[in-house]
Chain A
Amino acid sequence: QVQLMESGPGLVQPSETLSLTCTVSGFSLTSYNVHWVRQPPGKGLEWMGVMWSGGSTDYNSALKSRLSISRDTSKNQVFLKMNSLQSEDTTTYYCAREGNWELQYWYFDFWGPGTMVTVSS
């Protein structure tokens, strides 16, 4: 069955770089897009970026200068790296698979459980 699982350090020092991994199973990264979404405690969802099935990426313009998304299809993994972390980057990070209905409507049909990252010294 389809599964996504985020993994990462949990605690990151201010100004350091965050590295997260989304490990997927039950589908191919070359057939589905995988997005990253984050959510500060008690707040709403923020779209961060996407690894398209074809291998290209797009980013939230507010994060673009700090964010990089890559993948290793042989390991079924998508990676997120974000540098210059500050306290406002303390959030839960999710990866999500994007499904579609007849290539007309797009939606996030499977999500990982999320990984909480705290930025603190």
Chain B
Amino acid sequence: DIQMTQSPTSLAASVGESVTITCLASEDIYGSLVWYQQKPGKSPQLLIYGATILEDGIPSRFSGSGSDTQYSLKINSLQPEDFASYYCQNGLSTPRTFGGGTKLELK
């Protein structure tokens, strides 16, 4: 099984700042990396797939990068609605493993 390791597990930032979350796969996933955002009490929402492709309707301040085993999610100019938890996922193979999550909190 492919293991997904996310860092940091939590992150405090202010509105307007930029933050980066990283995800490391235990083996090459050939760009098949997915990012989700989850707000308290809600189901996860798709942000990015294929490591870099922004889902329709997602603001352009979100961006993804990476290849092979190392991937990143960057959020520019944080907005109040961005404070949530973020998860990466292996979209290449079964099991579709998730990273442990990153909780982005308001500083």
Contact = CB atoms under 8 A, between A and B. Distances in A.
Given A44-B87, A44-B100, A45-B36, 17 more contacts: A44-B99, A45-B38, A47-B95, A61-B1, A94-B43, A101-B53, A105-B31, A105-B32, A105-B50, A106-B34, A106-B92, A106-B96, A107-B46, A108-B89, A108-B96, A109-B55, A113-B43
Interface of A: 35, 37, 44-47, 50, 58, 60-61, 94, 96, 101, 104-109, 111-114
A50 B94 contact: yes
A105 B95 contact: no
Contacts of A104: 32, 50
Nearest to B96: A47
B87 A45 contact: yes
B31 to A, nearest CB: 7
Contacts of B97: 47
Interface string B43-80: 11110011001010000000000000000000000000
Contacts of A101: 49-50, 53
19 contacts: A44-B100, A46-B98, A47-B97, A94-B44, A96-B44, A104-B32, A105-B31, A105-B53, A106-B32, A106-B49, A106-B92, A107-B34, A107-B46, A107-B91, A108-B34, A108-B44, A108-B89, A108-B96, A109-B55
Contacts of B94: 50, 58
How large, as a class, is the contact surface on chain B?
Answer: 20 to 34
Contacts of A37: 98
Nearest to A112: B43
Contacts of A50: 94, 96
Interface in B83-105: 87, 89, 91-92, 94-101
Contact of A47 (B36, B46, B98): B98
